[in-house]
């Protein structure tokens, strides 16, 4: 839907932009940081935060803001109403027990992969991933696995919208590089990445 559509409510768009600006890399941003991330004015971000605070979705800690557990209810409603999650969970548990590793289910959302379900394995050192976590599809094995067998029009749309930021020295940097990786995934039947999302992460 175009942003100038008279049925489009821009204030809701801005509210979600602020909510999505909270992530695992910056879980307690300041108002100024949120304004910079969302490109909204500080007064606008302040009004949105105060509204979300009154609704119980964010809380203030001095000059910092953080999400409350209530936001989990949004994703929880999705999981509870989505048969894919129900169907996948037994397989994820089986896979995790067989490999001794965490197992996850992800879905494509625009240019990202969103974790829809996860069976974690407790370790001294582990990756901080939970249901609702978003990662760029182009730089992750899950994203490439999803794209490798996605319809061509979906692949074209995602690649066209992807910024191809060099997250590490190993991150694929061009559409052609990603298409070559997707062809490799289809040939070998699985996807692997090494230190493309974060240094040292395989």
Select from 195, 193, 139, 133 the least CA-distant residue to 164. Answer: 139
Same domain, 144 and 51: no
Digit-coded pLDDT (tens) for 106-155? 989 889 998 888 998 877 655 678 888 889 999 999 999 999 999 999 99
Q: Is 3 a residue whose pLDDT tops 60?
A: no
- For the beta carbon of residue 12, count every other beta carbon within 10 angstroms: 9
Q: β-pairing, 134-136 with 112-119?
A: antiparallel
Digit-coded pLDDT (tens) for 154-175? 999 999 999 999 999 999 999 9
The CATH number of the domain holding residue 98 is 3.30.450.40
Mean residue pLDDT of the chain comes to 89
pLDDT of residue 99: 93
Cβ-contact 35, 45 below 8 angstroms: yes
Same domain, 20 and 79: no
pLDDT of residue 1: 47
Burial class (CB in 10 A: 0-12, 13-18, 19+), 144: buried
Please state the separation of Cα 166 from the chain's center in Å: 17
Same domain, 59 and 89: no
């Amino acid at each position: 839907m175009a942003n100038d559509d008279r049925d489009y409510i821009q204030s809701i768009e801005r509210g979600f932009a602020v909510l999505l600006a909270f992530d695992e890399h910056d879980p307690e941003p300041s108002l100024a940081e949120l304004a910079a991330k969302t490109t909204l004015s500080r007064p606008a971000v302040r009004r949105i935060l105060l509204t979300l605070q009154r609704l119980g979705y964010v809380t203030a800690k001095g000059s910092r803001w953080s999400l409350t557990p209530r936001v989990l209810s949004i994703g929880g409603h999705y999981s509870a109403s989505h048969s894919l999650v129900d169907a996948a969970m037994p397989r994820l548990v089986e896979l995790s027990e067989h490999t001794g590793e965490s197992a996850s289910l992800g879905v494509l959302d625009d240019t990202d992969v969103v974790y829809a379900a996860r069976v974690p394995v407790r370790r001294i050192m582990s990756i901080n991933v939970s249901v609702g976590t978003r990662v760029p599809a182009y730089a992750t094995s899950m994203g490439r696995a999803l794209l490798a067998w996605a319809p061509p029009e979906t692949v074209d749309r995602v690649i066209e919208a992807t910024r191809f930021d060099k997250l590490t020295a190993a991150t694929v940097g061009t559409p052609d590089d990603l298409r070559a990786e997707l062809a490799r995934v289809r040939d070998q039947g699985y996807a692997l990445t090494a230190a493309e999302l974060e240094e040292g992460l395989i």
